[in-house]
Structure 1
Amino acid sequence: MPQLLHLDASARSDSFSRELGVAFVDHWKAAHPEGVYTYRDLVADPVQPIDEARVKLATQSSLNGVNDLAAMDEVATAPELAGAWAATRPLIEELLAADVLVIGTPMYNFTVPGALKTWMDRVTLPWLPLAGKSAVILSARGGAYGPGTPREEFDFQEPFLRAYFSVLGLEDLEFVHTELTHAAVMPFLARFRDVHEASSGTALDRVKALAARVPAETPAV
């Protein structure tokens, strides 16, 4: 049966990225009624930032040729590593179990929020295999950063996430952006409200299509 891991990283409980996430999950569950759904709110339940012990964990995994959870369990028995591994292992288990990863994330200061970056720092180990999985990034941006816009070159969100997941072998990566969300609340952007509403509508339509498309079976390992 297919498994979906859903992460939220917005500091706002009523954010546009969270709204897209709810829509995606509803459509995905309808398309995959037998599917397994796991949710993690990276703001309400923040991940522990990496520290020296977590860095040593990555170093030791490389030195010992670790390539799976069981081998990492053996390396992490050292007292100075056990705590770091205890904070890391459950997150990696969730990620490895998922066929589909859905991340709801706003753009903060042209890139991803600290809550999401902390999760990425915590789960990423040299041996982490994500090949064969699918990921959908549900993004909300206060301005416009699409192709041809004046701020296109300021988008460090999508290029960063594409680079991150490609290094880990995950190539099936889709982005859905709702742009100009600030137009809904900031008077000086009021003239762009129609553009925002069109972007939001397009995003919701795309979410529905992607939720039905993502793999229905666990990829062969």
Structure 2
Amino acid sequence: MYQPPHFRETRLDVLHGLIRSEPLGLLVINGPEGPVANPLPFLLDADGSSNGTLRAHCARANPVWREIQASPEVPVLVVFQGPQAYVTPSWYATKKETGKVVPTWNYVIVQARGRAEIFEDADWLSGQIRNLTERHEATREKPWAVDDAPPEFVAAQVRGIVGIRIEIASLEGKWKMSQNRPAEDRARVAAGYDDAIRPDMASLVRRLGAERG
């Protein structure tokens, strides 16, 4: 990933935070006919290795797991996309001063690389779906639990999936939020996002601009 210094994010807690808040990762592998991409919800184990580990599962009918199993030595890529939005040149103060401005895009993204393992063990898979369910049901007033479904139904569902575990060998983050623009341009971009009802983007532009100084 192209990484200008203005936008590079290396703090592990920040990178992990994005994975937790945006857990639907795009798993990319180099298949026999070229790149193959599958969106999967991931769980992060921050203590699984120095950069953490990722766990997910896919349908047994999905050929991605067999392709991973056939080439376990080939690293995979998982992309986690955070907030993103267009930037119009009309927001820049520089537009009025020189006219030398162009459109761009602001975004947050994390890319994880590592070798993937495949798991077909029923206990591993049961733990995976329970952990994933508990993680995303935790904020509900009346959380749904795996045990709410009939045991034989759950067992059949488990037989229909395959687990994937990735030890993260490298982790890259890019927080592109107008940090390379002059202070007045950044302020106007944030105000533009306010008007567009994108408080998430406005907040990031202001915070990262303040960190830059």
TM-score between the two structures when normalised by the length of structure 1: 0.25
- Where is the strand percentage greater, Structure 1 or Structure 2? 2
TM-score between the two structures when normalised by the length of structure 2: 0.26
- Where is the helix percentage greater, Structure 1 or Structure 2? 1
Which protein has the larger Cα radius of gyration, Structure 1 or Structure 2? Answer: 2
